[in-house]
Structure 1
Amino acid sequence: MHSYVMEAIGAFFLVLVFGFTGDPLAIGLTLMALVYIGSRISGAHYNPAVSLAFFLKRRLSGAEFAGYLIAQLFGAFLAAAAIFFLSTSVFYIEPPATTNLYQQVFAEVVFTFIFVLVMLTLALTKSFRKSSLSGLAVGLAFGGMLMVATPVSGGILNPATSIGTASFDLINGGNSIIHSLLYTLAPLTGGALAAFAFSYFHRLEF
């Protein structure tokens, strides 16, 4: 249960910072702090794409993966509610009008892939497993990927962020849920590809 609570807390603060600032650096620094807080409790995923990769690497059971997913979505939904409470405006996400769907899918898949591969490398390889710099590396990697993805896709790279905020928006009469398919399937694809790539490059190490 502790791991699920930690995942909900992490997703909550990530979405809260995303909603109030939209700043990749602020989001990355927040993730860095949350990794140090939660890495030994839940692995500090806070992202269904990351949890899917760890599930495919058999580091999570099917029940644990489902629990992580529910916790992350719940935390993101609560963050959307908190943003509404604090600002009286509904926070929702939609892709830029300056790019097309293919470009947006490409960005979400590729940059999620790189980020999740960093997570797997730091968590599962012997040379990095106990490194005290893991949180810094994860936070900077995510912030960097957001910086390059944001102009193309909106830079979500986390299905919980999209589904949680879109669900709250839907309750309030909005229709941002129509974009959740992009922000769910593309990052999950990136996470799955990262798991397969990790197996290819590190098959002899762990």
Structure 2
Amino acid sequence: MTPKLLTELVGTFLFLSVIALSQAAGPLAPIAIGGVLMVVVYMGGPISGGHFNPAVSLGVWLRREIDVVTMLTYWLVQLIGATLAFVFGYMVSGHTPGIVPGPHVTWIQALAVETVFTGLLVVTVLNVAVTKATAGNSYFGLAIGFAIVVAAFAGGPVSGGAFNPAVGWGATLGKALFGGGNFDWFWVYVIGPLLGGAIAAGIHWVQIARTETPSVATRNDPSERAFAAETSEPRH
């Protein structure tokens, strides 16, 4: 396993382990979730780009910063990390939270929330961790972490708050294996976030279309330039 894939696997596992165990934190859970995302993004950003979310990987691929093989292998290890995280959560706590929308929420409401707030997360990632003009900044992890805090507080009570297909997969699978759950809502946590990631990539393209040209996907890991503070200089 390459260092990049290992980083995505470990980072996704750590991030989603906190999600799996944060139910006990009650109303403060979004702060814990945003905090751990900030930590793993700072940890993994210089190595893999710090995605830990298939919707983020999709957005970065659509911006031509990684190639399709990298995106698909990232997706694979992210889903493995998600599975391990929710199994671990059940092993140490004896329960699994699952994920479903709030009471009386329709599928279209849940889908809309997952799309909009995943879009918020991905467009933040693209602007602070991919855009050349912000390369080498030291705040990228804070911005990304707070994006998920905002999303969880505002959208979590409506949709259940995945904003990440790996979260939808791990939570749904964990509940199905250990809590008698089902996959009825799983598609919402796949389609919504991926749609949000695609829309975010389009927004980012419009934002920077006149100021910079994206990298060619076949270059070797150009997304890492955003995290190379010592060697990268902002370009406009």
TM-score, normalised relative to structure 1: 0.95
Identify the match of residue 127 of structure 1 among 128, 133, 138.
133
* Cα drift, residue 168 of structure 1: 3.5
Residue aligning to 1:10 = 11
Bigger Rg, structure 1 or 2: 2
2:174 maps to amino acid: F
1:197 maps to amino acid: I
* Cα drift, residue 125 of structure 1: 2.1
Residue aligning to 2:81 = 75
* Cα drift, residue 172 of structure 1: 4.1
2:113 maps to amino acid: A
Residue aligning to 2:209 = 203
For residues 157 and 92 of structure 1, the distance between their equivalents in structure 2, rounded to whole angstroms, comes to 14
Residue aligning to 1:118 = 124
* Cα drift, residue 175 of structure 1: 3.4
After alignment, is 172-181 or 68-77 more displaced? 172-181
For residues 174 and 70 of structure 1, the distance between their equivalents in structure 2, rounded to whole angstroms, comes to 25
Q: Kindly report which structure 2 residues correspond to 1:42-57, keeping only aligned pairs within 5 A, or say none.
A: 42-57=48-63
Gapped regions of structure 2 (runs ≥ 5): 24-28, 213-236
For residues 168 and 151 of structure 1, the distance between their equivalents in structure 2, rounded to whole angstroms, comes to 20
For residues 166 and 5 of structure 1, the distance between their equivalents in structure 2, rounded to whole angstroms, comes to 24
- Contact (CA 8 Å) 1:25, 1:143: kept in 2 or not? yes
For residues 50 and 81 of structure 1, the distance between their equivalents in structure 2, rounded to whole angstroms, comes to 23
Residue aligning to 1:89 = 95
* Cα drift, residue 169 of structure 1: 3.4
Paired residue total: 206
- Contact (CA 8 Å) 2:169, 2:186: kept in 1 or not? yes
Residue aligning to 1:19 = 20
Taking only the aligned residue pairs, the percentage that are identical comes to 34
Residue aligning to 1:185 = 191
Q: Kindly report which structure 2 residues correspond to 1:130-141, keeping only aligned pairs within 5 A, or say none.
A: 130-141=136-147
Alpha carbon RMSD of aligned pairs, Å? 1.4
Identify the match of residue 34 of structure 1 among 33, 40, 57.
40
1:98 equivalent in alignment to 2:78: no
1:67 aligned counterpart, secondary structure: helix
TM-score, normalised relative to structure 2: 0.83
For residues 19 and 207 of structure 2, the distance between their equivalents in structure 1, rounded to whole angstroms, comes to 33
For residues 7 and 182 of structure 2, the distance between their equivalents in structure 1, rounded to whole angstroms, comes to 27
